[in-house]
Amino acid sequence: MAEQNNGAEGADQAQFSIQKIYVKDVSFEVPGAPQVFSEPGQPQLELNLNQKVGRVGEGLFEVVLGITLTCKLADKTVYLAEIQQAGLFALAGFDDRTLDMMLGTYCPNVLFPYARQFLGDLVAQGGFPPFYLQPINFEALYAEGLRRRAEQGAAPAEIGNA
Identify the CATH homologous superfamily for domain 15-133+140-149: SecB-like (3.10.420.10)
Give the predicted TM-score (pTM) of the model.
0.84
Residue 107 predicted with pLDDT over 70: yes
Average pLDDT, the chain: 89
Q: What is the pLDDT of residue 150?
A: 87
Q: Where are the domains of the chain?
A: 15-133+140-149
93, 14 in Cβ contact below 8 A? yes
60-81 pLDDT, tens digit per residue, is 999 999 999 999 998 899 999 9
